[in-house]
Amino acid sequence: MNANNRLVYLDWMRGLGVLIMLQGHVVEGWVRQQDRASEWFWLSQFLGGLPAPVFLFLVGVSLALVLDRMRRKGASSLQLVKKVLRRSAWILFLAYAFRIEQYLVWYPFSDWRGIFKVDTLNCIAICTLVIGLVSILFKSRRTNIAAMGTATGAFVFLIPLIYPLEGLPRFVLSYVNGAGNPSYFSFFPWAAFTLAGITLGYVLLEAKERMEEREFFKHIAVAGICAYAVGYGMSLTPVFEYGFFDYSLTSPHFFFVRLGLILLILYGAYLWCRRETAYRWSPLVTLGQASLIVYWMHLEVVYGRFGFGSTLRLSDAVLHLVWFLPLMLVLASYRRIQNTLTEAWKQVLRRPESAENAG
| Spatial contact of 58 and 335, defined as CB atoms under 8 Å apart | no
Using 50, 70 and 90 to split pLDDT, how confident is the model at 6? low
Per-residue pLDDT tens over the stretch 328-352? 999 998 876 656 656 666 666 665 5
Question: Distance between CA atoms of 100 and 306, rounded to whole angstroms?
Answer: 18
Tens of pLDDT, residue by residue over 83-134, are 999 999 999 999 999 999 988 988 888 888 889 999 999 999 999 999 999 9
SS3 call for 236: coil
Q: Which residues contact 263 (CB under 8 A, 6 or more apart)?
A: 200, 220, 221, 223, 224, 227
Break the chain into its structural domains and give their ranges: 8-358
Give the percent of the chain with pLDDT over 70.
91
Residue 174 pLDDT exceeds 60: yes
Calculate the CA dihedral of residues 148, 153, 155, 159 and round it to 10 degrees: 160
Per-residue exposure over 99-130, b if at least 16 CB sit within 10 Å of its own CB, e if not: beebbeebeeebeeeeeebbbbbbbbbbbbbb
Q: Does the pLDDT at position 264 exceed 70?
A: yes
- The helix or strand, by DSSP H or E, that contains position 153, with its residue range, turns out to be helix 141-162
Give the CA radius of gyration of the chain.
22
